[in-house]
Amino acid sequence: MTERYLILSDGTTYKGQAFGSPATTSGNIVFNTSVTGYQEIITDPIYHNQIIVFSTPTIGAVGVNHESYEAILPTAKGVVVREVAEVSTNRQRTLSLDQFLRFNNIPGISGIDTRQLVRKLRTHVGPLNASIVDVADEHAFDQLNATVLTNQQVAQVATPRPYANPGMGHNIVVIDFGLKSGILRELAVRGANVTVMPYLTSADAILNLDPDGIVLSSGPGDPRNLPVSVLTMIKTLETRIPMLGIGLGHELFALANDATIERLPVAHQGMNHPIREIITNRIMYAAQAEEFGVDRDSIDRNQLLITHIDLIDRSIQGLRHRDYPAFSVQFFPDAAPGPWEATQVFDDFIELTGTRGEQR
Amino acid sequence: MTANENKQSAETDSSQSQRILVLGDSANDFGHETELDAAAYQTLSVLHRHNLDAVYLNDNPYSFTMDNPCGATVVMGDPTDLGTVRQVIESEHITTIIPVVGGRDAMRTIEELIAHDYLDDRHITVLGVPLTTVRLINNPALMNQTLRELNEPVIQSQVASSTSAAFDLAREIGFPVIVKSVAPRGEGDRVLAESADQLDDALTEAFARSRTNQVIVDQSIVGLKEVSFEVLRDARGTELLLGALEDMDPVGIHAADSIEITPIQTLTDREYQKLRQAAFRVARRLRVVGLMHIQFALDPVHDNYFVMKVDPYYDRVSSLLARASGYPIALVAANVMLGVSLAEVKLPSGFAKRTALIEPVLDHVVVRLPVFSFDEVQRRGITVDRQLTTVQKSVGATLGIGRSVEEAVLKALRAAHYHNRDFAFNALAKLSDNDLIQQLIHPHDNRIMLLLEAIRRGYQSDELAELTQMDEFYFHKLRNVYELEVSVAEHPGDVDWLHRAKYYGFSDGLIAQLWQTNADAVMNQAHSAGIIPTFKTLEPTAGEFSEAVPSFYSTYELENESTPQSGDVALVVTTGAFRLGDGAAGEYVMTTVVSELHQQGIKTVVISNNPNALSLIPQLGDKQYLEPQEISDVLAIIELEHPKWIFVPGNRLKLIGALRLRHENVIVINKDKAPKSAQDGDQYLTRVVFHTSKIGVADPQEIAQTAVAHDRQTLKASEQGVPGIAAEPGAMRQSGYYQTLFSALSGHSRMVTTALPFTTLALLNKGTGINWVRLLVRALLDKTTTADRQHLEQGAFKTTTTDDVAMIDVASRLDLRWHPSLPLQGVQFKLGAKLQVPFPRQFVIKG
Amino acid sequence: MAKEVVDAMAMQRALTRITYEIIERNRGISNLVLIGVKTRGVFLAHRIATRLHQLEDTVVPVGELDVSEYRDDVSVNIPVSKDAISNLTAPITDKKVVLVDDVLYTGRTIRAAMDAIMDLGRPNSINLAVLVDRGHRELPIRADFVGKNIPTAQNEHIRVSVEEVDQRDSVEIVTADEATK
């Protein structure tokens, strides 16, 4: 059992035990309160450059399996937990969590008072950086404070070239801002013929593919750091083709329609907040991982309808264009991980493309 | 909201003529501790807040709710007796019935009322569960058909009306099969039959217990993973998941006898969400408005599951999850049942967001360990069948809460054993290898210790997983415990290992065993090394929000969240896990103590580890610790809370002794540790109960004068010139209630004086309509009222009504469950009792 | 055998989608009037109105229309009556009318409904929203908003159940002899 340290840019040091990779890494530290789904969370590209604190006391008991990858190569910077199960015993496992993290050069640290850490993070204003290190000396803190994290996360995780995920149904173009596999899985379940396009593709190039529908994928980071050309593309496409934005895609959809984005006082990552679908008053639960949100006051009600809100922090969870079949959700409807009731968003989307398709 | 559901939901604002009958829980029994009483109390408090007119019907002598009905009318009578229920409905002009705090018996009562068209004829509505669903719950065949319509996988299962038809089914399905009664009398049992002989026996029993003379023969799914989900659904159809738990033991051991753990550890997100979705679908189909517990058997290898059981009412799982998460399940469910939507329900002010819609998530591990009282019987030279099966054998349970599975398991184990000597790592060292294997395959009540012993003898995790069909994950956890044990033993006096041991839940006593020293020495060393417990809040958001829930557990980490209260504090150690006998009575008495202290403006701190404990109802006291009750646990809390008084039930001799050495104000709520009167059958006919407010030896004369009550026989005896009471002086050490027992055999000459059993104290309260427990607490605090003095001086026997209130013990079918070598008779083997009155009548308790 | 083709959840979603499409098509909901065709169309119209209210905080008037008197395939033709639209206080002249029905089949019911509406006033436009389009049109009528297209055989029937009167939401295909039962 090797001792390692988690150090925070506010000067705090935590002693714990190493697992996963022995690498030293730095990243932005966030906490997630989900009780299940650690593999999906760790492999989701939205955690690019981030150290994830799990509030659930034990992870690793079900190992790592084929069905739960959200990206082939995880790019999270670290995993912090109270207990890690040393051996995976789930029948679907291919690797233990420890092996998997080792393989992907991601360090983990266990034996941390994660409850205290979560309580600290929830009251800390603004992002906090952290490192997992061998020695928590002045040098380590200097290194941490000198670390400059990129604000071009999307560029680092999104696909540089198009690829197909063929199916026999509707022709769907997914624009990749850091796509997670859950979105492709849900489209595949519905038979869609998917083409994944890089986020810097022009609107014309996408229209040339004659899509029945367009998905703006989720992804990491601040949407305001993306080039304006992305917003122009969205603006052009939304008037022509049914559109669904998810996560970062939702934030970009809002920006393209003249709303503004703000950093949330405290990031929320978990799957236990009630989300109200306004039109039906229906309550549902979904996985959420949010550091940014749409500023409610900035929304032009003549352009956009607010369709969903989070009943805990009142954040905007869904928008819809008044004039075009285009809508977006802040939460993760692909349920990987997360409750399944939100997957209806994909049914809605496919039906939207379907009815349009017939009319054309 | 549907038209149908509209009808079920109470109109809270137009309640003028509405009168709600809440069916009580009646006698305690296997699988029925005080959780229903606790739910009833909270439900009545919600009805009261909605200004609804309620009637509570019960005959449980240990019912706290009967004494404290929150403004409802209490009727003393049998809620499981159809005649009584009808009588009460008519005399009290009932318009609405709430059955969900009366357990399965209440569901059966409703079904019988439906069968007689009684409810329709009188336009009586039932809250919580639609009538069609009540029928389903009581009829597994109908339930299976409904689930099949939903495309929910159910176990292959068919009804048989004769032994030969049942054998036909068994031949078709193939052994092993599970046999259950259709519409059983009492709790429905599932009996596993692996051979023709076993099937014969199972059928005889099942046919005899079926009210329709039918049985169900099920495909056996023994060995699959057993998990439970608890759903809350409102009348508008909003659903949320309150929590889920996993049984360490596979299907084949009754869930209440299984070691249960929450949050779920060994399911993937996909499996978890699939079952969550299924739970919602079933709740929707059954149109539940309130709680629903659904139990699944999961077959991870074939990515498949079966619905095993659906309980749309309060049970041990709702109680456990409320304790585990701090989410006020009973309060929210009661509101929902009345038609308030989940979006409208407001949580108590301590909750940061106050919305009932947040799904609880935990950042701690909770283990529920069943407690079997086999040893209590074996000590009398009676052997019992200790093998765990589909029939519940446990009589109680403890909770262990920690930040790791290891810590939670060890704390639950410690809570289950009052004495370290019962819980030593080498407890099973003498077991033969053959017995060990036999018990691995056919588990007994001691299986954590057995598994540790197996690991000690070199069994590998995969071998154990195959033998026991438990998830390998748990063997890795137990291996950690074993390895830690070895390392700690190798490093006596080493502070680092001491810290690590405490971090994973080892008690001072256990470490002392390993270091061959005494617990005090370990405690002192830990203390001086600054290894002290930190208390963390049991709240439902895993730290995301600042929740002021005054409920805590200990662990050894960085941050302590529990701060001392201002003002006078009383620490109350309540009953803990139930054993055979008067657990419910003890919990009733101790809860009354807590309630009275709270009402007297004293800050109360309760220590309990019983998931079903009445004393853990949040609004009754100020603060709760869900902890084991060993001396070190209690001392750690004393150190933080600085209580002025410590209240302890009288049977905790060792704890009382240890506490008295360290605290001047230890008050024993006295009870006889074994109720002798009944133990010796009819030998003692006469009983005089008396009270003394003096600590020390009471003068026999004074005792006679302060007698507060006695029963019919005493009355007769005193007419004949008895009693000439002379107590055994040493018996009365402090203020409390005592009894002198006279022998019936030798002309009332042989006497013995003991503390009063909790069971008798409970009867005394219910029989006289005076709350003697509250009176005692006030006396102890020097807050005796004029009324109290009058009650004492008059001697309540002059006005007592005990003549027409009798207490009858209820047979728990212990023989059928435990198969003892000799019949088990006597009150100490009884789990529950009923009050018997000639006719149902209103009950009000004074004080 | 009745076969469920749309369950409660799917029906809810279809109505939600239709509501959004009505907003989209009409560039907002001012000037809108919903008219439900009796019996089930009325409940569906009310559900759409509730959705519009939740979303836009605006009350859209809902009218009810009983067209059995207008049907040209019903042997006895009763003279046109202005009572046909009940429960509609708002005038329909110059309004955008959305006619709501449960099933679109031959088109004769809708034609009758349009006749009735035209008798009552001169709306700006009439759109048609149906939960199910089962095909077999006999008139040149097309729905603007369709919940679900369900191609059916002539001897099949579509049974729409709504919570308000049938205690459940569903769309089923039933065979002819079962439907007459």
Please give the structure tokens belonging to residue A293. Answer: 């949100």
CATH code at position B192? 3.30.1490.20
Averaged pLDDT for residues A77-94: 80
pLDDT band at A306; cut points 50, 70, 90: very high
Nearest to A280 among C21, C27, C51 (CB): C51
**pLDDT tens sequence across C125-141:** 999 999 999 999 999 99
Residue C19 with chain A: CB contacts under 8 Å: 279
A11 to chain B nearest CA, in Å? Answer: 16
Q: What does the block give as tokens for B113?
A: 């009322």
DSSP designation for B712: H
> Of B204, B219, B234, at which residue does a domain stop?
B219
Structure tokens at A121: 């993070």
For residues B336 and B242, what is the distance between their CA atoms, to the nearest angstrom? 14
**Is B781 part of any domain?**
yes
- Give Cβ neighbours of residue B37 (< 8 Å, ≥ 6 apart): B24, B25, B60, B62, B63, B64, B65, B584, B588, B614
- Angle at which helices B758-768 and B583-599 cross, to 10°: 60
Beta bridge partners of C65: C37, C85
- The answer to whether residues B337 and B381 belong to one domain is no
Chain A neighbors (3+ CB pairs < 8 Å): B, C
Answer whether A156 touches B (CB < 8 Å): no
Residue B365 lies in a domain: no
Are A334 and A319 members of one domain?
A: yes
Last residue of a domain, one of A149, A173, A190: A149
Same domain, A34 and A85: yes
Is the same domain home to B412 and B385? Answer: yes
A316 with A188, same domain? Answer: yes
pLDDT digits (tens, 9 = 90+) for C57-74: 999 999 988 877 666 665
Query: What radius of gyration, in Å, describes the C-alpha atoms of chain A?
Result: 20
Chain A residues 266-295 within an 8 A CB cutoff of chain C:
277-282
Does residue B574 lie in a domain region? no
B98 shares its domain with B163? no
Residues with Cβ within 8 Å of residue B581, at least 6 apart in sequence: B675, B827, B828, B829, B830, B831
Are both A122 and A198 inside the same structural domain?
A: no
Lowest model confidence (mean pLDDT) among A70-74, A92-96, B196-200: A92-96
- My answer on whether A294 and A270 are in the same domain is yes
A283 vs B contacts (CB less than 8 Å): 238, 240, 342-343, 357
Between CA B637 and CA B630 the distance in angstroms is 11
Residues A158 and A227 in one domain: yes
Considering the domain architecture, whether residues A110 and A68 belong to the same structural domain is answered as yes
Measured CA to CA, the distance from residue A77 to residue A60 in angstroms comes to: 17
Query: Domain span at residue B429?
Result: 377-534
pLDDT at C39: 86
Instruction: Tell whether B336 and B389 lie within a shared domain.
Output: no
The pLDDT of residue B827 is: 63
- Final residue of a structural domain among B293, B328, B360: B360
Question: Considering CB atoms only, which of B273, B364, B403 is closest to A340?
Answer: B273
Half-sphere exposure of B5 (CA within 13 A, CB side): 26
* pLDDT for B422: 56
Which of B236, B238, B473, B549 best probes binding to A when mutated, by most A CB atoms within 10 angstroms? B473
Q: Which of A10, A334, A347, A348 is catalytic?
A: A334
**Overall domain count for chain A:** 2
* CA separation for the pair B699, B690 (Å, rounded): 12
Tokens of residue B805, six digits: 């209130």
Domain presence at residue B77? yes
Between helices B508-515 and B472-490, what is the axis angle to 10°? 60
Q: Is B502 on the interface with A (CB under 8 A)?
A: no
Q: Is B828 found in the same domain as B719?
A: yes
Give the E-state strand segments of B320-462 in sequence order: 365-371, 396-402
The verdict on B687 and B821 lying in the same domain is yes
Whether residue A334 lies in the annotated active site: yes
CATH classification at residue A143: 3.50.30.20
B688 and B792 assigned to the same domain = yes
The CATH number assigned to the domain holding B464 equals 1.10.1030.10
In three-state secondary structure terms, A261 is: strand
Would the CB atoms of B268 and A36 count as touching at under 8 Å? yes
Q: Comparing C-alpha atoms, which of B618, B301, B705 is closest to residue A89?
A: B301
0.90 cut: is pTM over it? yes
For residues A71 and A157, the answer to whether their CB atoms sit within 8 Å is yes
pLDDT digits (tens, 9 = 90+) for A165-178: 999 999 999 999 99
Cis amide prior to C140 (ω within 30 degrees): no
Same domain, B299 and B356: yes
Enclosing domain of residue A133: 3-149
Last residue of a domain, one of A132, A149, A166: A149
The beta-carbon neighbor of C23 closest among A322, A347, A352 is A322
Per CB-CB distance under 8 Å, the chain C contacts of A323 are 24, 27
Among A110, A129, A149, the domain boundary falls at: A149
Among the candidates B313, B334, B360, a domain finishes at B360
Q: Are residues A29 and A110 in the same domain?
A: yes
How many domains is chain B partitioned into structurally? 5
Q: For position A348, which CATH number holds?
A: 3.40.50.880
Do A158 and A144 belong together in one domain?
A: no
Q: What is the ipTM of this complex?
A: 0.96
Say whether A248 counts as a known binding-site residue.
yes
Whether B820 and B680 map to the same domain: the answer is yes
Q: Does A182 touch chain B (CB under 8 A)?
A: no
Can you give the C-alpha Rg of chain B in angstroms? 26
Q: Both B122 and B233 in a single domain? A: no
Tokens 């367009």 -> residue: A214
Same domain, B345 and B473: no
Binding-face residues of B in 258-287 toward A, CB within 8 A: 263-270, 272-274, 276-277, 280
Across the range C166-180, mean pLDDT stands at 81
- Shared domain for B399 and B327, answered yes or no, is no
* C172 pLDDT higher than 80: yes
Q: Is A292 annotated as a binding residue?
A: yes
Question: What domains can you pick out in chain C, each with its CATH number?
Answer: 3-178 (3.40.50.2020)
- What is the domain-level CATH number for residue B120? 3.40.50.20
pLDDT at B628: 94
Helix, strand or coil, per DSSP, at residue A127: coil
Question: Which tokens in the block code for residue B545?
Answer: 């929000």
Position B494 scores a pLDDT of: 97
Residue A51 Cα, gap to closest chain B Cα (Å) = 17
Closest Cβ opposite residue C17 in set A281, A323, A351: A351
Between CA A288 and CA A330 the distance in angstroms is 8
Question: Does residue A309 sit in the same domain as residue A238?
Answer: yes
At residue A197 the predicted structure's pLDDT band, cuts being 50, 70 and 90, is very high
Residues of C in contact with B4 (CB under 8 A): 167
Known binding residue A237? Answer is: no
Residues A161 and A138 in one domain: no
- Flag whether residue A42 sits within 8 Å of chain B, measured between CB atoms: no
CA-based nearest distance B364→chain A, Å: 6
Please answer whether residues C85 and C120 qualify as being in contact, where contact means their C-beta atoms are separated by less than 8 angstroms: yes
A168/A222 same-domain check: yes
Q: Could you tell me what percent of chain A has a pLDDT over 70?
A: 96
Distance of alpha carbon B552 from alpha carbon B550, whole angstroms: 7
**Consecutive sets of 10 residues in chain B, 847 residues long: mean pLDDT of each?**
41 64 94 95 97 97 97 96 96 96 93 91 93 87 87 84 90 86 76 89 88 86 92 96 96 93 95 96 95 94 88 95 96 97 94 94 97 85 90 93 97 80 75 92 90 93 89 93 95 96 93 92 94 96 94 97 95 91 91 97 97 95 95 94 95 90 90 48 46 37 42 46 43 64 53 75 84 89 86 54 66 81 77 88 89
Check whether A352 is labelled as a binding-site residue.
no
